[in-house]
Amino acid sequence: MALTDQSTRIRTGEELDASLIDPYLKAHIPGLSGLPQISQFPGGASNLTYLLEYPEQEFVLRRPPFGHKAKSAHDMGREFRILNQLREGFPYCPKAYVHCTDESVIGAEFYVMERVNGIILRSELPAELGLDSAKTEALCKSFIDKFVELHQVDYNAYGLGDLGKPEGYVARQIKGWSDRYEKALTPDAPQWDVVKAWLNDKMPADHPTSSIVHNDYRFDNVILDPNNPMQIIGVLDWELTTLGDPLMDLGNTLAYWIEADDPAPVQMMRRQPSHAPGMLTRREFVDYYAQRSGIQIDNFDFYYTYGLFRLAGIVQQIYYRFYHGQTQDKRFAQFIHMNKLLEQMSLQVIQKSSL
């Protein structure tokens, strides 16, 4: 079994034409020969990711999905800029080579970056890694350490002070995701009225120290060194990155963090091995983050519930495209059930919350 992330054949309707891409790349990246072999990475539900293999070098191409797209999403130029400027202060960003705004090349904007060859953990922890519970705990803490390191980057020092507006971030996220959810509603989707009202009522002030917010920090977006799986060598998927409240980003990450004793329906949603022996629970995750960051976190229920609601918004936007026949990817048929489950999880947090 190959532990490094593998590409596969391209999904129907998402093909790329090598004869169109090749001249553009050769005009911008010296030393390439022949036509690239193109395959597709199977993961991801937003931007599409392809492997381009030349004899001399391998690249990863990222482009927006086909069909309906949220107005502010899938900004290729923004992600390209973040990778190249942030990697000076956060060296886990892959190097980005070229950003193409000419949609005649493949029918959309795209950018090309280096391929960081390594291990990406999916829903299960591969036995071949030989990680016992102690090593798994150490890997989990390393994952959190990188998160804290990102949140402590001086974004102004790397020319990223205009990446977002930290002031009013919490309120803007609650309103923004409420609006985006409404626009992506389908007749079979839940309304989330109780949760939205609770989030508005319990909304805290912005944390006084703003940070870079990755907005999608998960184990399946980090790359492990194939020669030393305990070492993280890359962080991917910067399309949603902005400036804002680091605790809101922590809420985003915890929304994906399914622990071992979560019920079976929740386990079916899991996309990373956060349930494995040695992985921290959500409560332990928050405590360790607080310890490493020096941020006091008195009550995390608001941020976790926000993360669940935001995740439901993302899920519903993707399901909207499937519902209206704008994507043929059959994986998305089940997203409506995920949305409903996320609402139930949020209601359970609210019911037990002391806020």
pLDDT digits (tens, 9 = 90+) for 45-65: 678 999 999 999 999 999 998
4 band by pLDDT with thresholds 50, 70 and 90: confident
Contact 232, 222 (CB under 8 A): yes
* Residue type, position 325, single letter: G
Mean pLDDT (the chain, rounded) = 94
User: Which of 167, 198, 196, 169 is CA-nearest to residue 180?
Assistant: 196
66 band by pLDDT with thresholds 50, 70 and 90: confident
Cα→Cα distances 165→26, 162, 206, 239, Å: 38, 7, 11, 16
Report whether pLDDT(269) > 50. Answer: yes
- CA–CA dist 95, 153 (Å, integer): 18
- What is the pLDDT, as a whole number, of residue 69? 54
> Model confidence over 275-305: pLDDT tens digits?
999 999 999 999 999 999 999 998 899 999 9
> Model confidence over 174-192: pLDDT tens digits?
999 999 999 999 999 999 9
> Model confidence over 221-268: pLDDT tens digits?
999 999 999 999 999 999 899 999 999 999 999 999 999 999 999 999
CATH of domain 18-114: 3.30.200.20
Question: What ranges do the domains of the chain cover?
Answer: 18-114, 127-352
- What is the pLDDT, as a whole number, of residue 44? 62
Contact 342, 319 (CB under 8 A): no
One DSSP character per residue, 275-329 reads TSTTPPPHHHHHHHHHHHHT---S--HHHHHHHHHHHHHHHHHHHHHHHTTS---
> Model confidence over 302-350: pLDDT tens digits?
999 999 999 999 999 999 999 999 888 899 999 999 999 999 999 999 9
Instruction: Please compute Rg for the chain using Cα positions.
Output: 20
State which fold the 127-352 domain adopts. Aminoglycoside 3'-phosphotransferase; Chain: A, domain 2 (3.90.1200)
Residue 58 has a CB neighbour count (10 Å cut-off) of 16
- What is the pLDDT, as a whole number, of residue 71? 44
Q: Map tokens 């947090």 to a residue.
A: 349
1 band by pLDDT with thresholds 50, 70 and 90: very low
- Alpha-helix residue ranges (DSSP H) falling in the chain: 18-28, 76-86, 133-151, 169-183, 193-201, 246-255, 264-267, 282-293, 301-323, 335-352
Q: Residues 21-33: what's their mean pLDDT?
A: 96
* Residue type, position 89, single letter: G
